[in-house]
Amino acid sequence: MSGLADPVKVLMHRHRELCERAVDPLEIAAGLEAHGVTDRTAARFRHRDVFSLAEEMYARVPRDAETPAGTAAPAPVRARADWALLALLPGALCTAAVAGLHLTHGQQRPIAAAVGALAVALGLRAALARGPLGLKDHIRSGSRATGLWTCWLAAYALLGDGLLRAALAGGPDRLPTGASDGPWPLAAAPVLALTLSCAPAAWCAHLFAGRARRKLTASRSLEDFTASATPLLLGTFALYLCSLTALSALCGTVLDEPAGHAQAIALGALLFLARLLTLHGFTRAPALVLAATATAQATALATVFAARLPGWDLLITPVKTVVGMGGPAGVPTATCGAAALVLLVHATRRLTRASAHTPTDQPW
């Protein structure tokens, strides 16, 4: 040390990186101590303690005015093969179940229907457990009620129209047989289209999350981000709707069920938006809207039956009006469509905020 005119400069050179990135003297002091510098060492640099040595070093570091290089873009989350397979699972199971329904007759049919429904439910559960549609641990607890309402909505899509039609005609006289041409027919096409659309939904959610994260790093201010995230959200939503429309048309053609496009699309839009909101931590609004939708559908059915009581026949008027305008599918289409619209407005306000995209796995 004695041969050098400026021992601190040597020390600074040795801890160059530490000095350059330090935001205050204490950070240099902490770093120096971690490298074994003690007060006795500091005394050799004619300082009382490490703190005053660190202060000198901090003051002497040349600080150029230019900003440090921007943060590196986050590594994109790769779409993995197991996600893709899982996302395809519900669709495949549902296809199998529908095929089973068509191939079985008589007594076997209800059994096939029950097995199929169970398999599809389990498949959906698996598909929604991980991957882009999977929830983080801290959100999961709030989403149980949401699952229940979703089940109701799906069940209505499957059986509701038939029940409503039968009820308006004075029925139903017996339980559904599983055939699509009985007095209480099963509408398999919308449900099949919805389960098949799990794959595009997962892909859209993945796309949205990835793009949003990239925009996050690129934007200078929160306003910037909101401005760029709104078209992204609407684009993703439109993409999903397109794929769902295509799938619905395909299923209708294959199963020979021409009706029910609008209903499937409205329900799909509602469920997709609800999932997207839940994924980003907004659990309250989706749960509320789903519950309201399910309640509205249940009320519509209930009023039809209640109107059979003497003196209550006025109750049937609203349902009759809707059915008169759009057939039995008008009820779910109207309820789900309105709910989806509400959630879309909510999502454009919530999901375009930066705080919805806080990375959870990033080191500080």
Partner 1 sequence: MDNRPSRHRPVRIPSSRCEPPGQRRLLIREIGGAFVRIGLLTEGGYPYVSGEARLWCDRLVRGLGQHEFDIYALSRSERQEDEGWVPLPPQVRRVRTAPLWTAEDDGGGRGRAARRRFAECYGELAAVLCTAGPYGGSGPPLELWAGTADPLATEADRFRSALYGLAELARDEGGLVGALRSEAAVNALERACRAPGTLRAAREARVPQLLAVAAHLERALRPLSLDWYGDDGLGSVDLCHAASGGPAALTGLLAHHFLGVPLLVTEYGVQLRTHYLAAAESSPAVRALLAAFHGRLATEIYDRAALITPGNAHARRWQERCGADRAKLRTVYPGMDASHFTEVGESPRSADPDTLVWVGRVEPAKDLVSLLHAFADVRKEEPKTRLRIVGAPAGPEGTAYLGHCKALAAQLFPDEADGLHEVGDNPVSFMEIGGPEVPTLADAYATGAVTVLSSVVEGFPISLVEAMFCGRGTVSTDVGAVVEVIGGTGLVVPPRNPRALAEACLALLRDPERRERLGAAARARALELFAVEQNTAAFHGIYLEIVSHSPVRRVVLDATGEPLPFAAPAEAHVPGRWTEPAARAVTGGIPGWATAEPPFRTADPVPAAEGAR
Helices (H), 172-283: 188-196, 198-218, 222-255, 261-279
The answer to the question of residue 211 lying near partner 1 (CB under 8 A) is no
Give the interface segment with partner 1, choosing from 156-164, 217-225, 309-317, 326-334 (CB under 8 A). 217-225
CB of 24 to partner 1, least distance (A): 5
Per-residue interface string for the shown chain with partner 1, residues 338-357, x marking contact by CB under 8 A: ---------------xxxxx
Instruction: Report the SS3 class of residue 118.
Output: helix
Give the interface segment with partner 1, choosing from 30-38, 146-154, 238-246, 287-295 (CB under 8 A). 30-38
The alpha carbons of the chain give a radius of gyration, in whole angstroms, of 30
- Which of 2, 64, 82, 364 is close enough to bind partner 1 by CB under 8 A? 364
- Which of 9, 14, 16, 21 is close enough to bind partner 1 by CB under 8 A? 21
The answer to the question of residue 26 lying near partner 1 (CB under 8 A) is yes
Nearest to residue 265, comparing CAs of 340, 167, 344, 349?
340
The answer to the question of residue 229 lying near partner 1 (CB under 8 A) is no
Measured N-to-C along each axis, helices 188-196 and 261-279 cross at an angle, to the nearest 10 degrees, of 30
Give the interface segment with partner 1, choosing from 161-169, 216-224, 251-259, 265-273 (CB under 8 A). 216-224
The answer to the question of residue 210 lying near partner 1 (CB under 8 A) is no
How far lies 51's CA from each of 8, 46, 219, in Å?
13, 12, 38
Q: Hey, what amino acid is at 1?
A: M
How far lies 215's CA from each of 205, 228, 315, 345, in Å?
15, 7, 52, 21
Residue 338 is encoded by which pair of tokens?
A: 């309105």
- Identify the sign of the CA torsion 254, 260, 261, 266: negative
The answer to the question of residue 62 lying near partner 1 (CB under 8 A) is no
CB of 298 to partner 1, least distance (A): 27
List residues near partner 1 by CB under 8 A.
Answer: 21, 23-27, 30-31, 33-36, 38-40, 49, 51, 55, 58, 67-68, 70-71, 137-138, 141-142, 216-217, 219-222, 224-225, 281, 283-284, 353-359, 362-364
